């Protein structure tokens, strides 16, 4: 194996860690926790498999931070109480045994919640029913219910709950957290013009609409140890509206990436369906914009399973890349690429149908863990 000339296998720093390559696992909801949100031993084996396959850092599936409005899906894991912490330790231990760091993605579903054991009410910036329909692969169907507009107290509570969840992530031996500001969930509902009709300091221009994400980041950074990584994920497209684009174009990108850098994000994780295409009709990609206007490492995600697309994205300004579907098809993608072995195509039917739950075939036997 000769990876010395391959940009993907350069070592790279993320927080205090030096990673042996630039390829991480993207967050993927698999709705495979217990009904009360505890990560399982199967999940520990599932995550460890990617570390063993050469992924240099792992980001967990979206994990709900509180026992209130944040849960999005039935059987989604939480990090909202001590039982959750204990359960996640199995996962962090298993991944650390394989030598990789693991970051917990903290996700507040807001109006896109379609399964919440704690409440039937939905919280959002404004009482706007989401576009589209609930996701069937996560057990939903039909329209989303109309959410309730968050009060100022609710907003303060959201920030406090993100902080408490990050503190629990430290206890669970995670190496960091990723604040989920992308894909249409609560923080992105604040950033998005048509879901945010507020006339206070959290609504209106883009400076106000990015405020909550920035305040969450600042508060989480302040509450966690220096070496603990605190990143943020940002996208234009949403699970229920793939074609949305920031209406101010590059001017919005400038405000958003500068503000998140000022909020001391340790990285900006940008994601699009295909992150190699221009962010707007023409011109730079979202990766290039994050690199231009942000001042911290950029992680790029979206349609990068072709190694040449991944290399081109690194050459264009990404420090790291993550793979979702490509990793499900090839849990050892980095090793295969390093050894110039063929990659398998992603089979949606086999892996994510009839639902997104982790299949037995994706979980190595415990004995494998000692390979």
Which residues have a catalytic role annotated?
Answer: 185
Sketch the per residue contact string, 252 through 291, with ligand FMN: x for CB under 6 A, - otherwise: -------------------x--------------------
Instruction: Kindly state whether residue 62 participates in binding ligand FMN, applying the rule CB under 6 A.
Output: yes
Burial class (CB in 10 A: 0-12, 13-18, 19+), 87: buried
Q: Could you tell me how far CA 371 lies from the centroid of its own chain?
A: 29
Pick one of 84, 90, 161, 180: the residue that binds ligand FMN (CB under 6 A). 180
Rounded CA separation 210/93 (Å): 35
Exposed e or buried b per residue across 288-303, where buried means at least 16 C-beta atoms within 10 angstroms of its C-beta: bbbbebbebbbbbbbb
**Does residue number 70 form part of the binding site for ligand FMN (CB under 6 A)?**
no
Residues 13-32 that bind ligand FMN (CB under 6 A): 26-29
Distance, in Å, from the CA atom of 191 to the CA atom of 208, rounded to the nearest integer, reads 8
Toward ligand FMN, which CB reaches closer, 29 or 213? 29
Q: Which stretch binds ligand FMN (CB under 6 A): 9-17, 80-88, 123-131, 300-308?
A: 300-308
Instruction: For residue 326, state whether it binds ligand FMN (rule: CB under 6 A).
Output: yes
Distance CA 38, CA 197 (A): 36
Whole-number Å distance between alpha carbons of 10 and 74 = 39
The answer to whether residue 71 forms part of the interface with ligand FMN (CB under 6 A) is: no
Dihedral sign of CA atoms 150, 151, 152, 156 in order: negative
324 binds ligand FMN (CB under 6 A): yes
Segment contacting ligand FMN by CB under 6 A, of 94-102, 212-220, 278-286, 322-330: 322-330
Question: What length is written for the chain?
Answer: 371
150 is a site residue for ligand FMN (CB under 6 A) = no
* Residues of this chain that bind ligand FMN (CB under 6 A): 26-29, 61-62, 105, 180, 182-183, 233, 271, 301-303, 323-326, 352, 356
């Amino acid at each position: 194996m000769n990876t010395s000339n391959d940009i993907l296998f350069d070592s790279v720093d993320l927080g205090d860690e030096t990673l042996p390559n630039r390829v991480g696992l993207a967050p993927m909801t698999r709705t495979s926790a217990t009904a009360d949100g505890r990560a399982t031993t199967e999940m520990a084996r599932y995550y460890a498999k990617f570390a063993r396959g050469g992924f240099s850092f792992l980001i967990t599936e979206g994990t709900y931070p509180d026992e209130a409005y944040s849960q999005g899906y039935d059987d989604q894991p939480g990090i909202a109480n001590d039982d959750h912490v204990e359960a996640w330790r199995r996962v962090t231990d298993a991944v650390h045994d394989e030598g990789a760091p693991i970051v917990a993605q903290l996700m507040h579903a807001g109006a896109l919640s379609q399964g919440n054991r704690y409440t039937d009410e939905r919280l959002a910036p404004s009482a706007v029913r989401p576009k589209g329909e609930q996701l069937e692969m996560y057990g939903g169907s039909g329209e989303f219910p109309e959410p309730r507009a968050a009060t100022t107290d609710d907003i303060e509570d959201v920030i406090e709950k993100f902080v408490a969840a990050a503190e629990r992530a430290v206890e669970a031996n995670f190496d960091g957290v990723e604040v989920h500001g992308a894909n249409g969930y609560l923080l992105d509902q604040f950033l998005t013009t048509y879901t945010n009709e507020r006339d206070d300091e959290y609504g209106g221009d883009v400076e106000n609409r990015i405020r909550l994400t920035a305040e969450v980041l600042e508060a989480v950074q302040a509450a966690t140890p220096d070496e603990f990584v605190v990143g943020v994920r940002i996208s234009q497209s949403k699970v229920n509206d793939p074609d949305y684009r920031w209406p101010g174009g590059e001017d919005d990108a400038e405000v958003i990436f500068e503000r998140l850098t000022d909020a001391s994000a340790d990285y900006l994780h940008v994601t699009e369906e295909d992150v190699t295409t221009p962010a707007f009709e023409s011109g730079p990609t979202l990766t290039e914009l994050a690199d231009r206007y942000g001042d911290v490492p950029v992680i790029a995600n979206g349609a990068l399973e072709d190694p040449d697309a991944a290399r081109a994205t690194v050459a264009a300004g990404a420090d790291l890349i993550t793979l979702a579907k490509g990793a499900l098809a090839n849990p050892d993608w980095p090793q295969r690429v390093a050894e110039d072995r063929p990659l398998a195509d992603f089979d949606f039917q086999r892996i994510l149908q009839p639902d997104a739950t982790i299949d037995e075939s994706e979980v190595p036997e415990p004995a494998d863990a000692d390979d």
